[in-house]
Amino acid sequence: MSTAECAVCCHWSVGAEAWGALARCEGVGLAFPDVSVYLHRRPGGPGKPYARMLFNLSCAVANPDTSVDANPAVELAAAPARKRPKPGERRVQILQTLARMLEQPGSERVTTAALAAQLDVSEAALYRHFASKAQMFEGLIEFIETSLFTVINQLLEREPSPALQVQKIATALLQFGEKNPGMTRVMVGDALVFEHERLIARMNQFFDRVESQLRQSLRQAAEAAGSNTPTVDAQALASAVTSLVIGRLQRYARTSFKRLPTEHLDLALQRLSC
């Protein structure tokens, strides 16, 4: 399987405690992990989402079948009451629904009223779990950061070739965006245009961290190739690879998710990272 064909399959669902089983996706001789995270309140940081959830935009709560008598009074008493979400479960549902709404092609700014309507709750119910809509987006950004830097760290540990590290990091970012269109709009800032400016600043910091890691790997590759100016070469190429990733994600979002970010990716990365 080629690098572009290897999918970083991140799924979220409510359930499993801590880190669940990792799914394997083979690509360029490396097994990419599926990031399992469960969202709950961080001790000592009330209200701030802590990224631990399994990334799968399908969360089903099954209602057990009930058998009752023919007596109407018994039937009324035996009717299953609406279940209250478990602690932390409603927070995950809110973030799942927000990400799903961002996946809709041509969707405009997501309002708390529309989000509450999708969840069939009041807006006040949303603010019992998040202090603001900005905090909801911070929950999505924290998931993006945790998921992708977990994958990047795995790549660095398992891949000894600096040039291949660069290719696989870029591929992981683009595959994550391709599999999670709603998250792509957050990553490129489309979904954050009318939100708090700190959200865009945080996504900019995310890509700065990615570029810094690419620069380290590319410097090693330049030194191995005998370059007389490894630092300058690494800075130029890291900027180019980061721009490629951001540009492809933006194109994916602005074409209503029709132009896949991973198309013809192998050749482009080989030219940039060699």
Per-residue pLDDT reduced to its tens digit, 132-173: 999 999 999 999 999 999 999 999 999 999 999 999 999 999
The closest alpha carbon to 177, from 246, 108, 128, belongs to 246
Q: Using CA atoms, how far apart are residues 6 and 4, in angstroms rounded to an integer?
A: 6
Structure tokens at 63: 């209602």
pLDDT beyond 50 at 75: no
- The answer to whether residues 239 and 222 touch, using CB atoms and an 8 Å cutoff, is no
pTM for the model stands at 0.70
Whether the per-residue pLDDT at 216 is higher than 80: the answer is: yes
Cβ–Cβ < 8 Å for 90, 129: yes
Q: In the predicted model, what is the mean pLDDT of the chain?
A: 77
Q: Kind of pairing, strands 40-42 and 30-33? A: unpaired
What pLDDT, on a 0 to 100 scale, did the predictor assign at position 107? 65
- The vertex-259 CA angle with 237 and 104, nearest 5°, equals 120
Segment 102-123 shows an average pLDDT of 87
DSSP letters for the chain = --GGG--------S--SSS-PPPEEEETTEEEEPPEE--EEETTEEEEEE--EE--S----PPPP----S-HHHHHHHSPPPPPPPTTHHHHHHHHHHHHHHTSTT--PPPHHHHHHHHTS-HHHHHTT-SSHHHHHHHHHHHHHHHHHHHHHHHHHH---HHHHHHHHHHHHHHHHHH-HHHHHHHTTGGGTTS-HHHHHHHHHHHHHHHHHHHHHHHHHHHHTT-S-HHHHHHHHHHHHHHHHHHHHHHHHHTTT-S-TTTTHHHHHHHHH-
Place 44 in a pLDDT band, splitting at 50, 70 and 90.
very low
Fold classification of 3-63+85-273 is: Tetracycline Repressor; domain 2 (1.10.357)
What Rg value do the Cα atoms of the chain yield, rounded?
Answer: 22
Q: What pLDDT, on a 0 to 100 scale, did the predictor assign at position 31?
A: 35
Residue boundaries of the structural domains of the chain: 3-63+85-273
Interatomic CA distance for residues 97 and 17, integer angstroms: 21
pLDDT attached to residue 20: 36
